Amino acid sequence: MGGLALIARQLGYQVSGSDANVYPPMSTQLEASGITLHEGYDESILELKPDLVVVGNAMSRGLPIIEALLNSNIPYTSGPQWLGDNVLRNRWVLAVSGTHGKTTTSSLLAWMLEEAGLQPGFLIGGVTANFGVSARLGQDPFFVIEADEYDTAFFDKRSKFLHYHPRTLILNNLEFDHADIFDSLQDIQKQFHHLLRVVPSLGQVIYPRGVSAIDEVLAKGLWAQSATFGSSPLAQWNFRWRDQPAGEFLIKHGDNEWLGTTALSGDYNLSNVLAAIIAARHVGVSPEHSIAAISTFKNTKRRQELIADVGGIKVIDDFAHHPTAIQLTLQGLKATHQSARVVLVIEPRSNTMRMGVHANVLADATSIADQCYWLRAKNMGFELTSDLVGGQVFDDVDNLVAALVPELAPSDVVVCMSNGDFQGLKDTLVQALKDSYE
């Protein structure tokens, strides 16, 4: 929604908005763009008499602001619908979908197109370090979008990505998530099947080879051109690390092979890189140009973002909040910091996590970490215990930091994982390290 506000501002609209618990980096980029922020959902903001209200999918019936909106007869729409009608209708949309990796892959793809001189528009679920913003209108014809399967609005329960009508579609992976709106993996697969139905026959669907959940969706119908990728030599496009700590990798397609370097870590990120290379090639950007762009790519904020280095202790901020993403991120960090201890500090905050859907696999997902510290999120629907997750569990940020800091030593890597503001833990941790080591 913040990204939509930026694009609306660039189209010349006067824009304001309201949200609860607005925090950086989104809050700062909105303010820098001259967009007025209102904390909370006070119905008095409708006294501004807006021409249109764009309703986010966190809003529901019963909220005073929503009831006032419906009673007012002020026109309203959803964010994806507004974007589809006002921005995407005549653009070549490159959409990045899947359970994990959407933000990184979208950012990579937008940067590849930018470095090729195409000046794409984009809407990404994080502030990209290369661009400094999460969204922009860009120049015709290309628009890169992070295509989320979450529902659109309280009045439109279709997945958001059904409004985008992509011509180039990346389907990165597919697992069960968003248990607050989906009852099963099959429910999610149905939405992806609907997405494939709107990709034109001259379009392209890019997907990993050998993922059963994706193959089941494709078996229901694939009308566009396609390309497969992965580490398997059976994939049409495949990758392998040449020197992972040094970031050197090889990409192969047919008889062609390319050598590149990246600051990203882990097989999953190299998979993201390859998917973006293929998508960029679909709009005319050569793999050589894309690989050159990767060498100057800076990852999105909160995706393995180094936020502090105090006394040789590195503190990394990461957004991972699904067991698979957690495990893959830890594997990547271990591969690139081979002589260091990786210490995980994690808050299971997403709706699915708090419901306990993945409770029984959390210990396995985090087992690769040398130590693990858990912070209980608010309103959890299951009992988070040390026996369950295999690490220390805390209810309070100060107590967690007090227990953690004395256990750290120079060369340790501390990765903080949460899809929220982590209850202020990161700032508290960095300050405690400075007090101890500076």
One-letter-per-residue 3-state SS of the chain: CHHHHHHHHHCCCCCEEEECCCCCCHHHHHHHCCCEEEECCCHHHHHHCCCCEEECCCCCCCCHHHHHHHHHCCCEEEHHHHHHHHHHCCCEEEEEECCCCHHHHHHHHHHHHHHCCCCCEEECCCCCCCCCCCEECCCCCEEEEECCCCEEECCEEEEHHHHCCCCEEEECCCCCCCCCCCCCHHHHHHHHHHHHCCCCCCCEEEEECCCHHHHHHHCCCCCCEEEEEECCCCCCEEEEEEECCCCEEEEEECCEEEEEECCCCCHHHHHHHHHHHHHHHHCCCCHHHHHHHHCCCCCCCCCCEEEEEECCEEEEEECCCCHHHHHHHHHHHHHHCCCCCEEEEECCCCHHHHHCCCHHHHHHHHCCCCEEEEECCCCCCCCCCHHHHCCEEECCHHHHHHHHHHHCCCCCEEEEECCCCHHHHHHHHHHHHHHHHC
Average pLDDT over residues 61-82: 95
> Which percentage of the chain shows pLDDT scores above 90?
58
Task: Give me 264's structure tokens.
Answer: 């990203």
Query: Tens of pLDDT along 302-312?
Result: 777 888 888 89
For residue 217, give every residue at least 6 positions away whose Cβ sits within 8 Å of its Cβ, in sequence order, or none: 171, 174, 189, 192, 193, 196
N- to C-terminal Cα distance for the chain? 40
For residue 355, give every residue at least 6 positions away whose Cβ sits within 8 Å of its Cβ, in sequence order, or none: 179, 180, 381, 382
CATH number of 305-437: 3.90.190.20
For residue 343, give every residue at least 6 positions away whose Cβ sits within 8 Å of its Cβ, in sequence order, or none: 369, 370, 371, 372, 373, 404, 407, 408, 412, 413, 414, 415
d(Cα 234, Cα 232) in Å, to the nearest integer? 5
Bridge partners of 143, per DSSP, are: 93, 121
Average pLDDT over residues 35-41: 87
Task: Give me 323's structure tokens.
Answer: 């067991």
What pLDDT, on a 0 to 100 scale, did the predictor assign at position 21? 73
Average pLDDT over residues 12-31: 83
Bridge partners of 313, per DSSP, are: 310
Q: What is the pTM of this model?
A: 0.80
Q: Which of 15-29, 188-202, 233-247, 273-287 has the lowest mean pLDDT?
A: 15-29
What is the distance, to the nearest Å, from the Cα of residue 9 to the centroid of all Cα atoms in its chain?
23
**Predicted confidence (pLDDT) at residue 332 exceeds the cutoff of 90:** no
Query: Tens of pLDDT along 132-170?
Result: 888 999 998 999 999 999 899 999 999 999 999 999 999
**Predicted confidence (pLDDT) at residue 26 exceeds the cutoff of 90:** no
Question: CATH homologous superfamily for 81-294?
Answer: Mur-like, catalytic domain (3.40.1190.10)
Query: Tens of pLDDT along 342-399?
Result: 999 989 888 777 777 777 788 888 888 899 998 888 887 778 888 887 888 898 899 9
What is the dihedral sign for C-alpha 114, 89, 182, 348?
positive
Same fold, 2-75 and 305-437: no
Query: How crowded is residue 399: how many other Cβ atoms within 10 Å of its Cβ?
Result: 12
Q: How far is CA 154 from CA 150, 160, 201, 296, in A?
A: 12, 12, 32, 41
**Predicted confidence (pLDDT) at residue 337 exceeds the cutoff of 70:** yes
Higher-pLDDT residue of 402, 265: 402
What is the dihedral sign for C-alpha 357, 359, 360, 362?
positive
**Predicted confidence (pLDDT) at residue 179 exceeds the cutoff of 70:** no
Task: Give me 380's structure tokens.
Answer: 């959890």
For 405, how many CA atoms within 13 A lie in the half-sphere containing its CB?
Answer: 20
| Domain range summary for the chain, segments of one domain joined by + | 2-75, 81-294, 305-437
Say which CATH architecture domain 2-75 belongs to. Answer: 3-Layer(aba) Sandwich (3.40)
**Predicted confidence (pLDDT) at residue 421 exceeds the cutoff of 70:** yes
Q: Taking a C-beta distance cutoff of 8 angstroms, is the pair 410, 313 a contact? A: yes
What pLDDT, on a 0 to 100 scale, did the predictor assign at position 206? 98
d(Cα 79, Cα 152) in Å, to the nearest integer? 8
Mean pLDDT of the chain: 90
